[in-house]
Amino acid sequence: METNRQKKIAGVIQKDLVDILQGAARDGMKGVVISVSKVNVTSDLGQAKAYLSIFPSAKKNDILEGIKSNTVMIRHALALRTKNQLRRMPELTFYIDDSLDYIENIDKALKGQDDPIKNPESLDKKKED
């Protein structure tokens, strides 16, 4: 279970991370929107997992790789912003939050756009033994 301290630190990291990533996206990647949907901090406050939503989703893997390759720089920028609130900056790991894609797929199915009865190709092929 997450303690109040973990939640508070996660909130601080999430807020500042949004500013840093959106600033970088504005400067170098026109038309890209990066949001931080969730941050989880381990109980020892040594690790922070950040879940990112990236639009357009076609570029999400490339952008995630770019973010991962700049983790040291991002962590440093974050440490400068949070130095009055955190004694030690947790190690950062970044993940894609694909819950929006999941919701979009459900929405399409409900609207009948991916109707597996009318369009059996939309189903994953079953492996034959």
Say if residue 52's pLDDT is above 90: yes
> What is the average pLDDT across 90-118?
78
Residue 119: predicted pLDDT:
63
| 62 domain residue, yes or no | yes
pLDDT of amino acid 113: 65
User: How large is the average pLDDT for residues 63-77?
Assistant: 93
Q: What is the pTM of this model?
A: 0.75
Predicted confidence at residue 129, as pLDDT, reads: 46
More confident residue, 21 or 84: 21
122 falls within a domain: no
Residue 42 domain boundaries = 4-114
What is the average per-residue pLDDT within 48-65?
89
Q: Does a structural domain hold residue 124?
A: no
Total domain count, the chain: 1
CATH number at residue 78: 3.30.300.20
Q: Is residue 123 part of a domain?
A: no
DSSP for the chain reads ---HHHHHHHHHHHHHHHHHHHHHHHHH-TT-EEEEEEEEE-TTS-EEEEEEEEESGGGHHHHHHHHHHTHHHHHHHHHHHHTTT-SSPPEEEEEE-THHHHHHHHHHHHTTTT-TTT-GGGSPPPPP-
Does 121 fall in a domain? no
